[in-house]
């Protein structure tokens, strides 16, 4: 197996782990996650509640799909969209001087606050998803051993 393919598998599994871990805490506590989304003061309350109920499951499904290596391009697109939204939200909160929890991983009083580290994390996840999308799009025939779709 080529080194490139091994690296792609590592990127895929890394993102899978990140998104499954991020989703688990939010799925367990939608009310706590809603509170943290609401703290950004960017969305009307109905969208806050819908986001708290649905977004963690999008993350969980994306993580599982990457883990299984199925529909990698479609999953990558979703991860790219999510991370663009996260980057906008965190940047906006920082620009407004909000001292709030990120709502990224841990929920309920112990999570990390918004800040440059969270932004860098999201850019890394964004880059990982973009790499997956690119290589799984242009190199289908070379990667038959990695992606069956």
Partner 1 sequence: MKKTKIPKVLKQALFLIILAMALGLPANWINPKGIPLGFTRPTAVSAADSLFTLPVGDQHQRLDKPLTINTDQVHTLQNAEKAILLDARSLTEYRSGHIPGAVNLPYEEIFEHEDIYNSLPYDKWLICYCEGPPCDLGELLAWELFNMGYTAVAIYTDGLNEWIKTQDVERVETEPAHEN
| CA pair distance 26, 104, nearest whole angstrom | 9
Please select the residue that binds partner 1; options are 9, 11, 20, 27, rule is CB under 8 A: 27
Work out how close the CB of 5 gets to partner 1 at its nearest, in angstroms, rounded to a whole number: 21
Quick count: other Cβ atoms within 10 Å of Cβ 142?
A: 12
- Determine, following the binding rule CB under 8 A, whether residue 134 of this chain makes contact with partner 1: no
Please select the residue that binds partner 1; options are 5, 35, 91, 92, rule is CB under 8 A: 35
- Determine, following the binding rule CB under 8 A, whether residue 56 of this chain makes contact with partner 1: yes
- Determine, following the binding rule CB under 8 A, whether residue 94 of this chain makes contact with partner 1: no
| CA pair distance 47, 39, nearest whole angstrom | 13
- Determine, following the binding rule CB under 8 A, whether residue 61 of this chain makes contact with partner 1: yes
- Determine, following the binding rule CB under 8 A, whether residue 20 of this chain makes contact with partner 1: no
Work out how close the CB of 137 gets to partner 1 at its nearest, in angstroms, rounded to a whole number: 8
- Determine, following the binding rule CB under 8 A, whether residue 34 of this chain makes contact with partner 1: yes
């Amino acid at each position: 197996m080529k080194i490139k393919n091994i690296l792609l598998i590592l990127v895929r599994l890394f993102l899978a782990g990140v998104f499954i871990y991020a989703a688990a805490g939010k799925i367990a506590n939608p009310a706590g996650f809603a509170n943290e989304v609401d703290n950004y003061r960017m969305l009307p309350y109905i969208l806050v509640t819908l986001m708290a109920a649905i977004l963690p499951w999008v993350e969980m499904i994306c993580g599982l799909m990457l883990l299984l290596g199925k529909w990698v391009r479609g999953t990558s697109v979703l991860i790219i969209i999510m991370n663009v939204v996260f980057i906008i939200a965190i940047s906006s909160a920082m620009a407004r001087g909000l001292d709030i929890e990120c709502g990224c991983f841990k929920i309920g009083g112990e999570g990390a606050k918004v800040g440059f580290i969270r932004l860098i994390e999201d850019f890394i996840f964004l880059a990982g998803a973009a790499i997956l999308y690119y290589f799984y799009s242009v190199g289908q025939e070379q990667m038959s051993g990695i992606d069956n779709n």
